[in-house]
Structure 1
Amino acid sequence: MLRTQSIATWDQIAVMAASGNPHADVVIFTAPVPDDPDESRADAATADAVVAALGGFGPDLLFAHLDQVDHAGHDHGSASRAYSDAVLRVDALVGRIVAAVDARAAARPDERWTILVTADHGHRPEGGHGGQSPEETSNFVIARGPDFLPGTTDRHATPVDITPTVLDLLDIISTSELDGRSLRPAQTPARASSSDPCPAAIR
């Protein structure tokens, strides 16, 4: 039985993660923090909870959501200093999470960890999203793990490929009904130790 956990700054993620059957085994929502107009404190608390989960519960699948980049995009637009500052802060929080994964992998060499990082959309330079402009639809997926060669790129990958990739990595049979495809290479190299850094960018 796989153990799953969701930790999010946006409350609607918690609603979705706790809904349906099956649903996530553990669902954590970071409550709004006082005097936190850019959500940087709330996201930091979310990252703290993720690091704690990795050091303790150690789920088979952990979904983490950080919200401040989207918040800055709505309020200030993607061309703003607030947006770029939010990206830099989230990058540092992701770095903390990656370090926690590496620490766990080093302590538990029998475990195999893969990290997938993406966003659900972009933003217009003046703020907001919902259209089909390049600024709103351009996206990325970053994969780091023993199945992905460092430095390789796949320009056909999109966020719709995340679900089939996760199902593949967990050795769960995916169905042809899914829109995306697994980004895991069909023929992977000899697996390196999960504690070895293996970044790969899939754009």
Structure 2
Amino acid sequence: MRYPVPGLQPASKSNRRRVLLIGLDGIRWDIAAESNVGSTLQALAKAGSFHEMTMEVPTISAPGWGSILTGSTHAQHGLKDNSCVGGRTWNRPDFLSQCFYQDQDTRTFAAAGWPVLVDPHGLGPLIHPRMEQQYAGLHRVVVRDGETFGYSAVDAEITDITLAAIKSGSFDVGFTYCCDVDDAGHIHGLQGHFYREAIMRVDAHVKALTNLISARHEAFSEEWLVIITTDHGHVDEGGHGGATARERESWVIAWSPDGYTPDWDKELRPEEITPLILREREIIPTDGSPDKNP
């Protein structure tokens, strides 16, 4: 068989939809939606589904991602700031863990340049290391440090690692994360070209990822769902954490290369993302319609 991408490797057959959650920190949709800024994001939102989401206060990354990644409210996961002091994330398994518990043949993958999300030796992690599954080849965690080495370079590396994992067919449910845009917002604010250029860089990463997933679908007829979201907005001057509408605003894009669109509400809550992913991972019957009672 001739594959559309050189080196594309087949994966084991699955009767569950494969999922990639792409986390893009601190992207305000009104700016991503500007002409020639978030072109890929705009196209995916048009081809798939777009959902508004309002984040809980404080609008800080660890609490926000804690809710998105674990399906928990702030009161449940206990995260108040990026120090993670007082958090109960070891009691709140992330969506990758929950997908594995749903089906123990599930291979999971996470890659991020913000150590709080993935580094077991850092302040979190929000993604559980699950060492037994790592030893068994069922779970892989890639840790990089954008705080030290800069998010523009680290996001590109994280994307390349994720592309290699997609090309090799090595996971069924994955999470990959970029923080370049949030970093630019803090340093430069949102008024000038720096924030927009950061969105363009991240938008290119998303294009590469979704193009490769489309190639896998074309080559192997794999069922995929790509979910893209952000953890908070920004005030125009740059910054977040408060209760203004601009800081609390978020969004979700759901897209599939086969045209499948999930039946989700127009407005979502951050703690709904994980249970929605679990629902999308329910067994797909042979007629292609979702089986809600597998």
Residues 79-127 of structure 1 deviation map (CA, whole Å, 9 limit, x = unaligned): 3321111111111110000011111122221x21000000011111112
Aligned to 1:140, what secondary structure does the other structure show?
A: strand
Taking only the aligned residue pairs, the percentage that are identical comes to 32
For 2:140, the equivalent position in structure 1 comes to 26
Paired residue type of 2:107: R
Which residue, 247, 252, 260 being the options, matches 1:136?
A: 247
Q: Separation in 1 of the partners of 2:159 and 2:114?
A: 13
Note closer, same or farther for the CA distance 1:28–1:142 as it changes in structure 2 (3 Å cut). same
Task: Kindly report which structure 2 residues correspond to 1:1-203, keeping only aligned pairs within 5 A, or say none.
Answer: 1-15=105-119, 16=125, 17-19=127-129, 25-32=139-146, 37=150, 39-109=151-221, 111-145=222-256, 146-148=259-261, 154-171=265-282
Question: Do the aligned partners of 1:118 and 1:159 also contact (CA within 8 Å) in 2?
Answer: no
TM-score, scaled to structure 1: 0.73
Q: Separation in 2 of the partners of 1:79 and 1:163?
A: 33
Aligned residues: 170
Note closer, same or farther for the CA distance 1:33–1:128 as it changes in structure 2 (3 Å cut). closer
Paired residue type of 2:142: I
Note closer, same or farther for the CA distance 1:134–1:32 as it changes in structure 2 (3 Å cut). closer
Higher RCO, 1 vs 2 (CA within 8 Å, ≥6 residues apart) = 2
Note closer, same or farther for the CA distance 1:79–1:155 as it changes in structure 2 (3 Å cut). farther
Paired residue type of 2:224: W
Note closer, same or farther for the CA distance 1:41–1:21 as it changes in structure 2 (3 Å cut). closer
**After TM superposition, which residue ranges in structure 1, 4 or more long, deviate above 3 angstroms?**
18-24, 31-34, 152-155
Cα deviation for residue 158 of structure 1 reads 3.7
RMSD of aligned alpha carbons = 2.8
TM-score, scaled to structure 2: 0.52
Note closer, same or farther for the CA distance 1:57–1:11 as it changes in structure 2 (3 Å cut). farther
User: Can you give the 5+ residue segments of structure 1 that lack an aligned partner in the other structure?
Assistant: 173-189, 192-203
Q: Separation in 2 of the partners of 1:130 and 1:32?
A: 20
Cα deviation for residue 74 of structure 1 reads 1.6
Note closer, same or farther for the CA distance 1:33–1:55 as it changes in structure 2 (3 Å cut). farther
Paired residue type of 1:85: E
Note closer, same or farther for the CA distance 1:79–1:20 as it changes in structure 2 (3 Å cut). farther
Note closer, same or farther for the CA distance 1:114–1:94 as it changes in structure 2 (3 Å cut). same
Cα deviation for residue 154 of structure 1 reads 4.8
